[in-house]
Structure 1
Amino acid sequence: MPRLFTAIEIPEEVGDTLALLRGGISGARWIDPEFYHVTLRFMGDVDDALARDIAQMLGQVRRRAFDMVLDGLDQFGGHKPRAVIASVKANPALLELQAEQERIMQRLGLAPERAYRPHVTLARLRDASTRQVADYLAMRGLYRSMPFHVPRFVLYSSRDSVGGGPYVVEAAYPLS
């Protein structure tokens, strides 16, 4: 049973700048740069028939390619930080692409996802000190990537693991 999600790949040159931000938080599990991505829609564990339907329906998406920028670092988890992320600058084209995929997945019977907040996960945290995370963000939080072009989105599969890969591109869908 594959575990599926759609995402936008992060170009190597942007990933290299994100990789320079690694370190400085005790116990953080830093994501390997080759696994950086912006998730569009997580489908989870699905059977093979549904996986085929998902891949086929995604092939009907017709959107234009667009540019994107990562703008600032943040964390998920509030008073108990669980991840350090790079935020995506507001981008209507990205939100429209994600919303279309959300509608497709609901038509296929998947439950709605929670509110969408586009980001790249840089590290997963376990028992990280709130102070350490705050200090890290104070030092590196103003990160901003160069603009990069998004010519496609991909359907990834992953193993049930602690996160951060490995991911396999099952299908790629060009944006016109």
Structure 2
Amino acid sequence: MPRLFTGLEIPADLGFALSLKRGGLIGARWVDPENYHITLRFIGDVDGQIANEVADSLDRLSNSPQFPVRLTQLSVFGGDKPRTLYASVEPSEALSRLQAAHERVLQLVGLPPEGRKFVPHVTLARLRGTSAADVARFLAEAARFEPLSFVPARFVLFSSRDSVGGGPYLVEQSYPLAA
């Protein structure tokens, strides 16, 4: 059974810029730059029939309008027990509309609603045994973060295998966004 999710790819030049933040954080399992992405909708493990229905249904969203995406700062999920270091994506109405459209289309296929609030981000590292103090120190040292922007030309249906740290992610199908 494939494990699927939809997302936006991060261009190689932005991936390189983000990868320069790697290192110096105890307990971090760094994501490879080629696996950086913004998840729009996690789908999970599905059988082949559902996977085909998902791929077909997402085709309805082809040619959604393009929009700018801006990465603004480093942050962490988990508070006192940090678990993920990420680059924040500046909220935008266009990004929220695209994500909501994914949610609607995938529920029509029969998938349950996503239970988590959509917080757009690019995961840089998964943290294990990393103290909040270590994260605070890392963020203070890496505080200078020049915003990075791009305009995605497409969204994709990714597959992944069950692994530690995420990836590798494969593009199963891509869907163009209208210029």
| TM bucket normalised to smaller | over 0.9
Relative to the length of structure 1, the TM-score reads: 0.96
Matches within 5 A, 1:70-149: 70-113=71-114, 114-149=116-151
What residue ranges of structure 2 are gaps of 5+ in the alignment? none
| Residues 47-56 or 137-146, more deviating | 137-146
Change over 3 Å in CA distance of 1:133–1:11 after alignment to 2 = same
Report the counterpart of residue 176 of structure 2 in structure 1.
Answer: 174
- Contact persistence 1:81–1:130 (CA under 8 A): yes
Matches within 5 A, 1:30-45: 30-45=30-45
- Distance in 2 between the 1:163 and 1:134 partners? 22
Relative to the length of structure 2, the TM-score reads: 0.95
> What amino acid sits opposite 1:147 in the alignment?
S
Report the counterpart of residue 70 of structure 2 in structure 1.
Answer: 69
1:137 deviates by 1.3
- Distance in 2 between the 1:15 and 1:109 partners? 34
How many residues in Structure 1 have an aligned counterpart in Structure 2? 176
| Residues 160-169 or 125-134, more deviating | 160-169
Task: State the 4+ residue runs in structure 1 displaced beyond 4 angstroms.
Answer: none
- Contact persistence 2:30–2:165 (CA under 8 A): no
What's the CA shift string for 1:1-30, capped at 9, x where partnerless?
100000100001101110000011112100
1:142 deviates by 4.3
What residue ranges of structure 1 are gaps of 5+ in the alignment? none
Report the counterpart of residue 2 of structure 1 in structure 2.
Answer: 2
| RMSD between aligned residues | 1.0
SS of aligned partner of 1:66: coil
Identity %: 54
